[in-house]
Structure formats: structure tokens, C-alpha cells
């Protein structure tokens, strides 16, 4: 574990003072959320705070207000096209790109199918295509797969295009406006927003909470601290510590469990000479301590050379806390009827691959339809269906988040190597289905059985990590999915 002041120094030297300040803000938000400290940085957005709910029958300023202007911005023009009065607010710039995104053909088609963009417009947003991707575990094999996350998307270009679409359809874009509090009435929600130290009030028929881990309702039991960025100067070539421009690195480990976590790398080439590199780990929400992003970024800069050779330079940082839900605990859910969670705040994406972008884009039209209906009928609760395979992969994510103590430093790598050797042996369709959240519950059970035959100790390992109660809930969830399609 890198000491805090050493970590701050490493981040400041490699990324600059502005990056350090942004990370420390997010770490403060995370700590405030975890402790429930009212008035702490990031504790904004709580319910009430003396705010008066709108009177019954009052005409609100907007039909829909979206709090959080990242990927959720794509919803705004779709809702406006339904004739709804829409506003989007963000504590920074609405449509600011804080991550880079990779997608498959299904996501590309979804951007076209929902009517937001033409195929030609989407094609201009694709900055690279890969012939394959792979997963590789320290001390084990390399397992390639085709048709998974094989398109690199220009995140900034996508959000700029969505912002232009929103403006053209009359959406109000409130840059540098933070949601401080809200109070829900029968017919509308009162909002207190702050900009430049000045507070003002708004009202809306429906509040869409898209603030990710900063949402007061982001109660998912797993979390994925993630850091990295667009890099230049990485060495190009076919070796394991080199970048191949037509190959995506989906999951890679270069060490065993350290500090209680299994650290994972991702590398996705983009424009010529650029590669987006991430370092992250899965954790139980309660296991992530103060200053986690600063510490992880320090590790990123200190150990990048173990992952890739070259003379790396950080072009643009990417970072954040990505909530994940194991399906072994209650789902994140807002109180009341007129506040709906979407995106990372809802945590309905894959708990294993954390493909928030893919899940959000594939369900874009369905989510917009559900939100449009919820304006008139706020009892509509679910913004999208949960993929059946999540009933199974959630427990695996929980296992990775808190590895059994007796597993040893390399035990998780050995388990993952066995599991991915099974996926690879079954072929691209089977392997890709798990990573794309398309695998059926029956195929998932078959995958577990094949893995257990190769590694019988997996039963003891899973029981040790999950315990009898969680194991029972896992079995019930899988059985329910098997019966539903049976």
C-alpha cells in the first residue's frame, strides 16, 4: 500500500495539480456517501433539507430533469422528441467525457435503431476496430475472443453530438449546476440546485438520477474504483508488453492479490498512436477506504511499466467509481415514485464486466420509453430488464471483490485462468455471450460445472467467500431464471 502523501506526490507529478484536485473531490464524495455525513462534499442531492414539496396540481417548470450529464445525456433528445420539456444539469459541463468507451456491433446498431444518429454519423464516431480481444491471467494463458468490445468509440464526439441533438430539440442544458436537494410531492418534485455558490429552485414532474456513485441512492454492494487514461508513447508490437493496434485487451492481470484486491488492466487502442489504459479492482462497497482513487492512480503510474513498455505520456485522464450490484442484496432504488435511477446509479449493468456503456446504449430506446411513461404514470418502477445471466455473474463478482483468505496471492489468477480456458474452449459465441451479458442461465450453469470439473476446489473457494446465506440467494436467483425460460 502506497502511503497517502507519497501517492499524492506521484499523482501530482504524473498528472498535475488539477487531476489531483479532481480525484480528491471524488474521494471526498465517496467518503461522505459512505459515512452519510450531511453537508460534507458530495453529500448534496439528499432528500428534503427543508425544501417544500410542490403543491398538488402545481405546474412544474419541466416534465423531466436529468441530474448528471454524462452518458445519460443520450436520453434527453429522445425524451424531448416525445414532446416533453426536458432539462439536464451537471456540476461540470453537460456532456463532459470522463471515460472512454468501447462497444460491440449491438451497441452501434442501438445508437442507430433508437433514431438518435444515422449509421454514417455513428461510423464517424468509431476511431478503431479490432480483429479480436483477449483476457490473460498472470501465470496462465491468453484467451482471445472475437466480437466483444471491438469498436473504440470517440466518447467526446458522441457526447458533443448528443448535446447538439438535445439543443436542437429544445432541451435546457444547465452547465455547472449541482443538485443540492429535492422534495417530492404528489404531482411533481421540487429541486434545489446550486451554481457558483448561488442556489435556486426548479420543479419537475420526474427527476432522473444519473449521478452514478455520487447519487445518494447508489447503494449497490459492489464498487469498482477505476483510473487510467488515453496514453501516447506505448511500445507497438506483438509482445505481451506491447500494444497491437488491432487487438483489444479486455481483462489482464500482472500480479496476484495485493492489499486484499486483484488489480486488473485493460488496454484499448484508439486513434493512431493512442491507447486507453485502465487499472481497476472489484471491491465490496464497505471495503473501499478513504483516498482510494488517489492511491489507485499512484499505483497506475508506478506500475504501468509492468503492463506495457514504452515512454507513456498521459493525454487525457479517465477515472471514477463504478457501482456494481451482486444481485445478492436489495437493488438500488429511489424512495418515492417520481425519482428514477438510471446508469451507474441504478447498477443494472453487468456486475462482472461492468459494461455500463454497453448496457446503457443497448437499452436506450427501452429506457426512454419507460421514462416517458413514468411522467404520466410514476408507478412505473423498472427502467429496463435485468439480463438473466446477471443472476449468476453477480456472485462471481462478489467472489473477486473479496477473495477467500486461504486462496493465496495467485489463487484468484488460477481460478480465473481455469474459468476462461473453459470459455475459450467453447468458442467465440459461448465466450462472447458471457462478456456481452447474453449468456442464458442454463449455459451459465453448464459453464460453472465445466469449470468445477477442472478445478474441484472451486466449491470450497466459493463457499468460503460467499457464505451459506449468499450462496443460497445465488442458487435461488439462478433457479428462478432457469424456471422462467424453462
What is the residue-wise DSSP string for 263-329? -EEEEEE-STTEEEEEEE--EEGGG--TTHHHHHHHHHHHHHHHH--EEEEEEEEEEEEEEE--SSS
pTM: 0.92
> 46-125+153-216+328-376 in CATH: which number?
3.50.50.60
Sign of torsion over alpha carbons 13, 18, 19, 23: positive
Mean pLDDT value across residues 223-235: 95
Indicate if the pLDDT at residue 41 is higher than 50: no
Q: Dihedral (C-alpha) 196, 201, 207, 208: value to the nearest 10 degrees? A: -10
Vertex 23 angle, CA 22 and 27, to 5°? 120
Indicate if the pLDDT at residue 328 is higher than 80: yes
pLDDT at 44: 43
Mean pLDDT value across residues 71-87: 97
Give the Å distances, CA to CA, from 116 to 36, 122, 340, 358, 383. Answer: 38, 10, 22, 16, 19
Q: What percent of the chain has pLDDT over 90?
A: 69
- Band the pLDDT of 342: cuts 50, 70, 90: very high
- Band the pLDDT of 386: cuts 50, 70, 90: confident
Name, in order, each residue with C-beta under 8 angstroms of 262's C-beta and a sequence gap of 6 or more. 253, 256, 281, 282, 400, 403, 412, 413
Mean pLDDT value across residues 348-355: 74
Q: At what angle do helices 17-35 and 4-15 cross, to 10 degrees?
A: 140
With b for 16 or more beta-carbon neighbours within 10 A and e for fewer, the 9-40 pattern comes to ebbbebbeeebbebbbebbbbbbbbeeeeeee
Cell of 12: 501530482
Give the Å distances, CA to CA, from 37 to 32, 52, 97, 418. Answer: 5, 22, 28, 43
What is the residue-wise DSSP string for 124-161? HHEEEE-SEEEEE-TTS-EEEESSSS-EEE-HHHHHHH
pLDDT at 355: 62
Cell of 373: 411513461
Tell me what the pLDDT averaged over the chain comes to.
Answer: 90
Indicate if the pLDDT at residue 40 is higher than 50: no
Indicate if the pLDDT at residue 269 is higher than 80: yes
Q: Is 402 left (phi over 0), alpha (psi -120 to 50) or beta?
A: beta
- Rounded to whole angstroms, the Cα distance separating 343 from 220 reads 12
- Rounded to whole angstroms, the Cα distance separating 307 from 419 reads 22
Cell 455547472 found at: 176
Closest CA relative to residue 348, chosen from 334, 363, 335: 363
Closest CA relative to residue 335, chosen from 110, 143, 148, 182: 182
Beta-strand relationship, 339-341 and 198-209: parallel
- Rounded to whole angstroms, the Cα distance separating 77 from 111 reads 12
pLDDT at 468: 85
Mean pLDDT value across residues 19-29: 89
- Band the pLDDT of 29: cuts 50, 70, 90: confident
Give the pLDDT confidence of 417-444 residue by residue, as tens digits: 999 999 999 999 999 999 988 899 999 9
Give the pLDDT confidence of 471-485 residue by residue, as tens digits: 888 888 888 888 876
> Which backbone phi and psi does 320 adopt, to 5 degrees?
160, 175
- Rounded to whole angstroms, the Cα distance separating 44 from 147 reads 41
Q: Is 28 left (phi over 0), alpha (psi -120 to 50) or beta?
A: alpha
Residues constituting the chain = 486
- Band the pLDDT of 37: cuts 50, 70, 90: very low
Amino acid at each position: 500500500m502506497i502511503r497517502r502523501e507519497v501517492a499524492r506526490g506521484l499523482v501530482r507529478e504524473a498528472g498535475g495539480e488539477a487531476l489531483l484536485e479532481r480525484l480528491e473531490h471524488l474521494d471526498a464524495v465517496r467518503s461522505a456517501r459512505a459515512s452519510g455525513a450531511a453537508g460534507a462534499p458530495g453529500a448534496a442531492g439528499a432528500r428534503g433539507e427543508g425544501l417544500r414539496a410542490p403543491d398538488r396540481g402545481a405546474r412544474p417548470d419541466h416534465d423531466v430533469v436529468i441530474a448528471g450529464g454524462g452518458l445519460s445525456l443520450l436520453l434527453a433528445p429522445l425524451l424531448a422528441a416525445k414532446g416533453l420539456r426536458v432539462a439536464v444539469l451537471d456540476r461540470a459541463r453537460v456532456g463532459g467525457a470522463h471515460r472512454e468507451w468501447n462497444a460491440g456491433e449491438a451497441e452501434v446498431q442501438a445508437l442507430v435503431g433508437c433514431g438518435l444518429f444515422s449509421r454514417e454519423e455513428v461510423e464517424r464516431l468509431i476511431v478503431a476496430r479490432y480483429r479480436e480481444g483477449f483476457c490473460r491471467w498472470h501465470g496462465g494463458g491468453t484467451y482471445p475472443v472475437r466480437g466483444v468490445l471491438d469498436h473504440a468509440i470517440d466518447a467526446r464526439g458522441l457526447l458533443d453530438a448528443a448535446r447538439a441533438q438535445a439543443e436542437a430539440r429544445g432541451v435546457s442544458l444547465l452547465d455547472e449546476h449541482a443538485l443540492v436537494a429535492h422534495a417530492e410531492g404528489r404531482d411533481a418534485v421540487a429541486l434545489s440546485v446550486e451554481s457558483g455558490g448561488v442556489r435556486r429552485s426548479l420543479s419537475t414532474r420526474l427527476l432522473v438520477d444519473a449521478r452514478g456513485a455520487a447519487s445518494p441512492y447508489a447503494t449497490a454492494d459492489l464498487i469498482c474504483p477505476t483510473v487510467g487514461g488515453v496514453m501516447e508513447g506505448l511500445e507497438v508490437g506483438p509482445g505481451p508488453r506491447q500494444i497491437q493496434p488491432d487487438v483489444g485487451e479486455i481483462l489482464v492481470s500482472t500480479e496476484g492479490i495485493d492489499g486484499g484486491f486483484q488489480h486488473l488492466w485493460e488496454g484499448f487502442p484508439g486513434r493512431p498512436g493512442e491507447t486507453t489504459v485502465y487499472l481497476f479492482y472489484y471491491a465490496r462497497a464497505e471495503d473501499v477506504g478513504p483516498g482510494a482513487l488517489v492511491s489507485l492512480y499512484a499505483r497506475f503510474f508506478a506500475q504501468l511499466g509492468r503492463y506495457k513498455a514504452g515512454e507513456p505520456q498521459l493525454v487525457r485522464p479517465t477515472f471514477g467509481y463504478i457501482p456494481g450490484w451482486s444481485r445478492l442484496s436489495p437493488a438500488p432504488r429511489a424512495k418515492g415514485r417520481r425519482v428514477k435511477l438510471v446508469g451507474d446509479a441504478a447498477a443494472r449493468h453487468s456486475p462482472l464486466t461492468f459494461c455500463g456503456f454497453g448496457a446503457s446504449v443497448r437499452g436506450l430506446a427501452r429506457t426512454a420509453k419507460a421514462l416517458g411513461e413514468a411522467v404520466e404514470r410514476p408507478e412505473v418502477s423498472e427502467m429496463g430488464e435485468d439480463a438473466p445471466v446477471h443472476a449468476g455473474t453477480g456472485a462471481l463478482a462478489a467472489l473477486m471483490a473479496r477473495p477467500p483468505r486461504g486462496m493465496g496471492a495467485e489463487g484468484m489468477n488460477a481460478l480465473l485462468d481455469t474459468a476462461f480456458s473453459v470459455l475459450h474452449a467453447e468458442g467465440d459465441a459461448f465466450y462472447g455471450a458471457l462478456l456481452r451479458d447474453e449468456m442464458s442461465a442454463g449455459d451459465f450453469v453448464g459453464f460453472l460445472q465445466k469449470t468445477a470439473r477442472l478445478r474441484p476446489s472451486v466449491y470450497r473457494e466459493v463457499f468460503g467467500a460467499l457464505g451459506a446465506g449468499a450462496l443460497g440467494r445465488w442458487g435461488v436467483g439462478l433457479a428462478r431464471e432457469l424456471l422462467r425460460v424453462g
